[in-house]
Amino acid sequence: MIQPIQPRTVSPGALRLMAAFIGSVCINVQFYRFVRPPHSEIAPTGAEWVGVRGRMRFIGTLFFFLAVASGPASASPDACPGNPDALGTSRVLTISPSEFSQIGSMQYKQTLPLNDHEVVITFDDGPLPPYTNIILDTLASQCVKATYFLVGQMAHAYPSVVRRIYNEGHTIGTHSQDHPLAFQRLSLQRVEYEVDDGIGSVDSAIGDAKAVAPFFRIPGLGRSKTADDFLASQSLVTWSADVVADDWFRHISAQTIVQRALQRLEAKGRGILLLHDIHPATAMALPTLLKELKAHGFHVVQVVPAGDRPKSVPELMASPATDRGAWPTVLTSAHSGDNAMTTRRYHRIKRVDASKRRSAAVFSDAIPRRSKRGI
């Protein structure tokens, strides 16, 4: 099928180069007129002409480098249309399993090569409307790109949201098929099922396997030698995190999420931030968090896999399930402190019965009841 030609936008850098070229030409012309008297019939000698041409080239080159050295405007509206004060995405970091097999200082020796005050924002457990959609709206308003680790069952339930995540420029990894409790105690056979079927469900939801990054985050960060060895054998980059904000805790407020995220990022200086796109508190916290990240001098880095990826995938109409209200809650038995892995955490996805105002622990009519860890 012939794709329509998309109009190209000219970047500010290209405009500066064009301006530099035109300016240098104008200067050359004016300089030539200056050094050669008007209506002069005396042609310059060879030596004089060489000198004139040399000065012309010098001035033109000087103008060119001054224009280039001015750099892009930090608050240019072109950087984030409609929001010149946006946090934005400062750079893109490309990685491959051959370079990074396990990342995240909470569990592994290696983490991403980030500069001071650089942060990679990640979201687990989705997609789940309306919160995933609200978070996507917030990220778009700030021109911030994130990495999503999707649960297979959730991707199967909401494929239109999966495709929206990808088409808005975010990176999509996987997070098992159904987020089992105590992943570290699973047999090899069950680990294989959770990983492979999770990837398969996300592939199916997005419509193009090349759109799914070879990035995997273990549910609950419940690593084991069995899981680590299998993931390595599948050429997957296993992600942990550097910083958590405890946004899966029951009754945690949006303000507390912001405070914990900022405090822990400041203490680390940089890092992978783990959040969840299935909680209302996270959706409410994100606008303030992004503004505070900018105020504290942080820069967002997007991580993408090496290799070719489709620029977009066909959009889908939202399913009726997308329009139903869904209220996820979180359960915890203790405060996490700075180590979020020491406490059992459970999610339960709830929907409201319109007549009785009671909640039932289900994803949708097509998804079986289950509980799961909080990360």
Q: Are residues 216 and 255 in the same domain?
A: yes
Same domain, yes or no, for 121 and 251? yes
Interhelix angle 280-295/254-268, nearest 10 degrees: 40
Helix (H, G, I), strand (E, B) or coil at 343: coil
In a domain, 75, yes or no: no
As a whole-number percent, the residues of the chain with pLDDT over 90 amount to 62
Model pLDDT for residues 292-321, shown as the tens digit of each residue: 999 999 999 999 999 999 999 999 887 655
Q: What is the pLDDT of residues 220-246, one digit of tens each?
A: 999 999 999 999 999 999 999 999 999
Res 252: pLDDT: 97
With a cut of 50, say whether residue 56 has pLDDT above it.
no
* Bridge partners for 348 per DSSP: 329
State residue 135 phi and psi, 5-degree precision. -65, -40
Among candidate residues 305, 337, 358, the one where a domain is terminated: 305
Domain coverage including residue 58: 15-69
Residue 44 is assigned to a structural domain of this protein: yes
Pairwise CA distance, residues 194 & 209, whole Å: 17
The structure tokens listed for 64 are 């060119």
Task: Sort strands 147-150 and 91-95 into parallel, antiparallel or unpaired.
Answer: unpaired
- Do residues 93 and 57 share a domain? no
Question: Is the domain of 104 the same as that of 50?
Answer: no
What span, in angstroms and rounded, lies between the C-alpha atoms of 218 and 173? 11
Whether 60 has a pLDDT exceeding 50, the answer reads no
Least confidently predicted of 9-23, 164-178, 202-216? 9-23
58 pLDDT tier (thresholds 50, 70, 90): very low
Do 370 and 343 form a contact (C-beta atoms < 8 A)? Answer: no
Q: Domain total for the chain? A: 3
Q: What is the pLDDT of residue 206?
A: 97
Per DSSP, helices labelled H in the chain are 12-35, 46-69, 131-141, 152-157, 159-167, 188-206, 225-233, 254-268, 280-295
What is the mean predicted confidence (pLDDT) over 248-274? 97
Q: Could you tell me if 227 and 169 lie in one domain?
A: yes
Is residue 273 domain-shared with residue 184, that is, in the same domain? yes
Least confident of 14-23, 168-177, 184-193: 14-23
Is 80 exceeded by the pLDDT of residue 364? Answer: no
Q: Are residues 146 and 283 in the same domain?
A: yes
Between 81 and 306, the higher pLDDT residue: 306
| Contact criterion met (CB below 8 Å) for 351 and 359 | yes
Higher pLDDT, 337 or 20: 20
Residue 314 lies in a domain: no
Q: Is 81 part of a structural domain of the chain?
A: no
Burial of 167 (0-12, 13-18, 19+ CB in 10 A): middle
- Give residue 71's pLDDT: 36
Q: Are 139 and 146 in contact (CB under 8 A)?
A: yes
Query: Which of these three, 305, 340, 358, is where a domain ends?
Result: 305
Do 208 and 298 lie in a common domain?
A: yes
What is residue 270's three-state secondary structure?
A: coil
Instruction: Based on the fold, state whether residues 139 and 188 are members of the same structural domain.
Output: yes
CB 329 within 8 A of CB 350: yes
- CA nearest neighbour of 153 among 325, 365, 313: 365
* Cβ contact 368:281 at 8 Å: no
d(CA 34, CA 28): 10
pLDDT of residue 12: 43
Residue-level pLDDT at 181? 86
pLDDT at 53 over 60: no
In the structure encoding, which two tokens stand for residue 326, read together?
């869904």
The β-bridge relationship of strands 345-352 and 372-373 is: antiparallel
For residues 156-167, average pLDDT:
98
Both tokens of 308, joined, read 């070719």
82-130 pLDDT tens trace: 899 999 999 999 999 999 999 999 999 999 999 999 999 999 999 999 9
Considering the chain, what is the average pLDDT of its residues? 76
